[in-house]
Structure 1
Amino acid sequence: MSLIDWIVLCCTLIIIVGYGVFKSRGNKNIDGYLLGSKSLPWYHIGFSVMATQASAITFLSAPGLAYTSGMSFAQFYFGVPLAMIVLSITFVPIFHRMRVFTAYEYLEKRFDVKTRAFTAFLFLLQRGLSTGITIYAPSVILSSILQVNATYTTLLIGCIVIFYTVYGGTKAVSYTQLLQMGIIFIGLFLAGVMVVHLLPKDIGLVKALHIAGKSGRANAIDFSFDWNNQYTLWSGLIGGFFLQLSYFGTDQSQVGRYLTGSSIRDSRLGLLMNGLVKVPLQFLILMIGILVFAYYQYNQPPLFFNKVELKKIEQSPYQTELTKIKEDYASIFDEKQAQIDRLSAALDNDDKQTVNDVRQRLSAANEKTSTIRKELTDLMEKNDPKADTNDNNYIFLNFVTEKLPKGLIGLLIAIVFLASMGSTASALNSLASTTVVDIYKRFINDNGSDIKYLNVSRIMTFFWGVFSIIIALYASKLGNLLEAVNILGSLFYGTILGIFVVAFYLKYVQGTATFVAAILTEALVILCWKFDLMAFLWLNLVGCVFVVIIALMIQYIRNILGRPSELPNR
């Protein structure tokens, strides 16, 4: 990066962190530290909710996902608006009326302490692991730019987030996220404009999207009903609905965001704002990936987008084999470019026959490209068995650093940092609140002073920060980070949601039945994933439905056997 980019990056980070620390000064108890004294307006909540979900993984992996496989991932978010409506009607007023710190406190009041503890454990396990992935994502950026080991950049980013989260708590998180989302919207808009500007003069936005579409990259909606297809309209609406309902309704990293609202109305408006903005925002991010794809139809893309791994093989004993692969790759690109020119002319003349012919030829050329890349990755693994052969997360990063003008590079890299900081800070805050309220305060010290709980909250924030950094150091082997974090969530969210559905709507079912049902269902979900029985989004539906069904069955059997009624521990 240039000096200007470094100045833009550093100034942006300093201003954001400094503002958050300044606005969060004066915390004296855990109500202020964990819930911001429940004083934030609706727009604050809306931006905070979006920033918590839109991690750096979104801005690194989503454009790369669109580049390699098209717009189909947008369907993943189709369930968000429906989930926001349901949450606003049901979850929000219940949590506000009960004045809870965490979502899991409600479960003890409704069921018993073991159900509360098990659900909190599932959350801590899932969120602790996924937070490590969100820390790793931006560390890839510095690692690639500075040409240093990702271990050092992971430690740097993790320590920055730990600093202001430990100091300022949820207020520091919310105030930084408010500025972060504003900068993110501006940066993404500028990135989209610049990609279009870099296209050939006779190729505008509409034509670029047409070319990408004829190359199989504009497949935004798939109406087929296939259990094994990751992204379809139905998996997004149904499986995605259950995933988003569980994430926003039972994951403390999100519940903690809207519990900071000054009223039920503010919390509801914040969630509805997220529901209205999230899908268009994701379309914009994916469209940037599509436009990058269109750009590389006229400009030869790198053979491998991860410069560090490519450099290793260039300096290895396999240089002769690599040279042959590069020659074949360039030859196929020349062939593809000729077909793209034919496609452009055919689109201008509405020549459908030529368009169909070009599509077939491009498909064949893409298969040849895939074969060549497979030869390259095999060579990489032969040279280094631990080589990272998935460069999906580097596609957008490579384009930004190589093709965009000075200043904008620093801003876009700052966006990835800000997104990571926002989601990671929310996660650490939620992990600390769940550990303190649901574990420490409930089982270890239930008569501590406000200062004692505040200090323990800071210690737990620090602990989970260190834990997440350790996980981040092993995240490079997970492939596409955006898919990895969503798969991880789907392993647990369905079960957690099922527990809350039983709690809210099936008053007939008691704690023991729900507890046993949750354990059995979680084992079933893991088995379904382990043996690849269905696409991961459907695991959310399976988890929720089976908790409900099994809990009803167990409760019915217990009633027949004459088991005594259970009273929740308060």
Structure 2
Amino acid sequence: MNNIDWLVLVLTLGGIVGFGMWKGRASKQNIEGFLLADRQLPWYHVTLSVMATQASAITFLSAPGQAYTDGMRFVQFYFGLPLAMIVLSVTFIPMFKKLNVYTAYEFLENRFDLKTRVLTSLLFLIPRALSTGVTIAAPSIILSTILGWDLYWTNIMTGSVVTVYCMYGGSKTISYTQMQQMFVVLIGMFLAGYMVVHLLPEQIGFVDTLKVAGKMGKLNVIDWKFDLNNRYNVWSGLIGGFFLQLSYFGTDQSQVGRYLSGESVGESRLGLLMNGMLKIPMQFLILLVGALVFVFYQFHQPPLFFNKTELAKVENTTQYQNITAKHQQVFEQKKIAVNQLFDALKQDNTAQIELSKTQVLAADKASSELRTEVKDLIKQKSPKADINDTNYIFLSFVTKYLPVGMVGLLIAVILLASMGSMASAFSSLTSCTIIDVYKRLIHPEDTDQHYLNVSRLVTLGWGIFCIIVAQFTANIGSLIEAVNILGSWFYGTILGVFLVAFYFKNIKGGSIFWAALVAECIVIYTWWIDLTAFLWLNLIGCVLVIIFASLFNLFHKKSKVA
């Protein structure tokens, strides 16, 4: 990066964080102001804050790479989201607002008992703290590789900045910061998509680019085939995704805290429903950028491997030089075939389209095989090397091909997305720790000022913990998948507890407590033996909790009668 990029980066980050802290200073200096922004935020704050919480740096780093390597089928992951937003707006929001709770888990003590509340809080705290560490590490791993930044200090820098402004202004600062973050992020991604097309040969426009991407299998948005082992199809998205999103937005405090800060039931509902409408188009745009980058690399020779640090270990070997020579030949053949495909599409020549498509796909397959050879070579030289370069594809393109200024803006986008997600996570970890553990079990009676001071210390503690987790996060493949897999271990169980609380009035605390423990063990074992794709774990966990709770409750009743 040159000086202009650094200036754009610093001004963008500093301006947004400074604005958020300035607006957050008006928040009341009490626990409600710190944790829930005085419950006074309008619907558009709720929408943008909810979107910023879900759309971490992992989304903007990993999703374009996911589309580059696997096409756009990942968008089906979000198909259950609008349905989940409707259910939450009808059931969860009115209940939480009526009870005037700080966290989702307070409701569970009223409905069941203290041990169920604490268990569910722990089931939230464990994955949220770990996934927040991944969220911190996501930009750091890639930025340190692409730009040469030190990994450990990048983790510390991003984690510390967010920790400081969360400690300073609490939820209102987070909300105002996230609102500005989302504007910059969306503008940045639109500009990135525009620049990809702009950098293509002059005769190729946006529609032409889409046609080429479609013929090469990168616009595979819809897959109707029902397959439990297929991670991304309509059915896994609508069913498994519905249960994941319902649990995430309905029981994960990082999201619940965002819409509990709405000034009324109506504002919170509208905020969530707008998120349901906007999230899929936003994710579609981000994945589309990845598909466009794929087409770009049909006319510009791509790296054989996008992680420069790992590639450097084998660049000077004879084997790699031989693979590079083959790669050059394959690329030239593919480029000719792509141009022929483009001409055939222009002329609407069906026979030539099919012939050129076959040639392009054959060359692309040969290129993929050469990439596999390089990965195998890297693995031979360094058995512990990370051979999944999905997370490096988009930023590698940004730093090599985008003009001065835009590189700084896109890196700011990645860091801002990371900070927005981290901020909500820190806030939720603090809320849950203070309200569900400290205030309930350790120090139940004290002043608002005391709880406010402890909240700031707890935020600092969680910030340090998550930065430590980030330092150990490496070699985990696609980061966007890693976070969603981690969530799927726990979200189904938590959702099952809440659904029983809402709809099974006869089931008591002891039954649901043991049902949640047993169901969680089965879910983890199901994942361990790789029985099904991870999205289905959300449905499995939820259904098992309901079944076991019903059985335990029935057994308890019979034993009482006996």
Short-chain TM bin: over 0.9
The match for 1:540 among 533, 538, 541 is 538
TM-superposed deviation, 1:344: 1.1
Match of residue 439 from structure 1: 437
Per-residue CA shift, 1:24-56, capped at 9, x if unaligned? Answer: 225522111101111111111110000000000
Instruction: List alignment gaps of at least 5 residues for structure 2.
Output: none
Distance, in Å, in 2 between the alignment partners of 1:190 and 1:112 is 52
Match of 2:270 in 1: 269
1:96 corresponds to: 97
Q: Could you give the per-residue CA deviations for residues 503-534 of structure 1, whole angstroms, max 9, x where no partner exists?
A: 01110111111111111111111111111111
Q: Aligned AA for 1:489?
A: G
- Distance in 1, matches of 2:244 and 2:37, equals 27
Shift in CA distance, 447/378, structure 1 to aligned 2, threshold 3 Å: same
Query: How far apart in 2 are the matches of 1:145 and 1:502?
Result: 48
Matched residue, 1:3: 3
Instruction: Give how far 1:387 is off.
Output: 2.1
C-alpha distance in 2 between matches for 1:472 and 1:27:
33
**Counterpart among 345, 356, 361 of residue 354 in structure 2:** 356
* Partner residue, 2:53: 52
Aligned mate of 2:525, from 518, 527, 546: 527
Distance 2:168 2:23 in 1: 11
Structure 1 residues 299 and 549: alpha-carbon distance in aligned structure 2, compared to 1, 3 A threshold: same
Whole-Å separation in 1 of the counterparts to 2:31 and 2:343: 65
Q: String of CA shifts for 1:337-381, please: whole Å, max 9, x gaps.
A: 121122112212222233233333333323322222222122222
User: What letter is aligned with 1:160?
Assistant: V
Alpha-carbon separation, structure 2, partners of 1:253 and 1:295: 37
Query: What residue is the counterpart of 2:324 in the other structure?
Result: 326
Q: What is the deviation of 1:291? A: 0.6
Give TM-score, length-normalised by structure 2: 0.98
Q: Structure 2 counterpart of 1:84, which letter? A: M
User: For the residues of structure 2 that align with 1:289 and 1:226, how far apart are their CA atoms?
Assistant: 25
Corresponding position of 1:119 = 120
The aligned amino acid for 2:232 is: Y
Amino acid at match of 1:15: G
| One-letter amino acid matched to 1:137 | A
2:285 is aligned to 284
Q: Report the Cα distance in structure 2 between the residues aligned to 1:211 and 1:55, rounded to whole angstroms.
A: 30
Amino-acid identity (%): 56
| Aligned equivalent of 2:370 | 372
2:223 aligned with 1:225: no
Query: What residue in structure 2 maps to residue 246 of structure 1?
Result: 247
Matches within 5 A, 1:441-460: 441-460=439-458
Match of 2:180 in 1: 179
Q: Which residue of 2 aligns with 1:108?
A: 109
Task: Give yes or no for the alignment of 1:430 onto 2:419.
Answer: no
Q: Does 1:68 align with 2:66?
A: no
Is the contact made by 1:76 and 1:240 (CA closer than 8 Å) also made in structure 2? yes
5+ residue gaps, structure 1: 565-570
Paired residue secondary structure (1:476)? coil
Matched residue, 1:344: 342
Residue 312 of structure 1 aligns to a residue whose secondary structure is coil
After superposition, the C-alpha distances for 1:61-92 in whole angstroms (9 at most, x for unaligned) are: 00000000101000001111111111000000
User: Which of the numbers 509, 512, 525 marks the counterpart of 1:511?
Assistant: 509
> What is the CA deviation profile of residues 89-129 of structure 1, one whole-angstrom value per residue up to 9, with x for unaligned ones?
00001000101110000000000011101100000001011
Kindly provide the CA deviation profile for residues 280-338 of structure 1, in whole angstroms up to 9, marking residues without a partner as x: 11111111111101111111111211122222333xxx522221111111111112112
The 8 Å contact of residues 379 and 385 in structure 2, kept in 1 or not, is answered as: yes
Q: State the Cα distance separating 1:483 from its structure 2 match.
A: 0.6
Partner of 1:258 in structure 2? 259
- 20-29 or 258-267, which moves further after superposition? 20-29
Equivalent residue, structure 2, for 1:493: 491
Measure, in 2, the Cα distance between the counterparts of 1:86 and 1:273.
14
**Counterpart of 1:375 in structure 2: which amino acid?**
E
The C-alpha deviation readout for 1:422-455, integer Å capped at 9, x for no partner, is 0001001100110111111111010122121111
Name whichever of 530-539 and 366-375 sits farther off: 366-375
- The CA deviation string for residues 184-207 of structure 1, in whole angstroms up to 9 with x for no partner, is 121111111111111111111111
Aligned match of 1:393: 391
Q: Does 1:215 align with 2:224?
A: no
1:418 matched to 2:392? The reply is no
Cα 1:149–1:382, aligned 2, differ >3 Å: closer, same or farther? farther
Measure how far apart 1:148 and its partner are.
3.5
The aligned counterpart of 1:14 is 14
Take 1:488 and 1:373, find their aligned partners in 2: how far apart are those partners?
A: 28
Partner Cα distance (1:404, 1:23) in 2: 34
Q: Shift in Å at residue 496 of structure 1?
A: 0.3
| Native 8 Å contact 1:45 1:271 kept in 2 | yes
The residue that corresponds to 2:204 in the other structure is 203
Q: Secondary structure at 1:297's aligned position in 2?
A: helix
- How far has the Cα of 1:141 moved from its partner? 4.2
The answer on whether the counterparts of 2:5 and 2:408 sit within 8 Å (CA) in structure 1 is yes
In the alignment, is the contact (CA less than 8 A) between 1:147 and 1:308 conserved in 2? Answer: no
Alignment partner of 2:557 out of 536, 556, 559: 559
Matches within 5 A, 1:118-137: 118-137=119-138
CA contact (8 A) 1:252 1:430 kept: yes
- CA apart distance, 1:385: 2.8
Work out whether residues 247 and 491 of structure 2, in 8 Å CA contact, stay in contact via their aligned partners in 1: yes
CA positional deviation for 1:7 = 0.5
Question: Residues 499 and 155 from structure 1, CA distance in 2 versus in 1: closer, same or farther, beyond 3 angstroms?
Answer: same
Letter in 2 for 1:91: F
1:237 is matched with 238
Distance in 2 separating the partners of 1:541 and 1:97: 28
Paired letter, 2:139: P
Q: Deviations over 1:251-275 (max 9, x none)?
A: 0000000010111111001001101
Q: For residues 106 and 274 of structure 2, what CA distance do their matches in structure 1 show?
A: 27
In 1: Cα distance, 2:380 partner to 2:156 partner? 30
- In structure 2, the partner of 1:567 is none
Q: Which moved more, 1:181-190 or 1:350-359?
A: 350-359
C-alpha distance in 1 between matches for 2:56 and 2:144: 18
| Structure 1 position 138, deviation (Å) | 1.4
SS at match of 1:416: helix
Residue 145 of structure 1, CA deviation = 4.3
Contact preservation (8 Å) 2:244, 2:492: yes
- 8 Å CA contact retained: 1:27, 1:168: no
2:290, 2:535 → 1: CA distance?
A: 23
Deviation >6 Å, runs of 4+? none
CA distance in 1, matches of 2:540, 2:146: 42
Match of 1:305 in 2: 306
Shifted more, 26-35 versus 434-443: the winner is 26-35
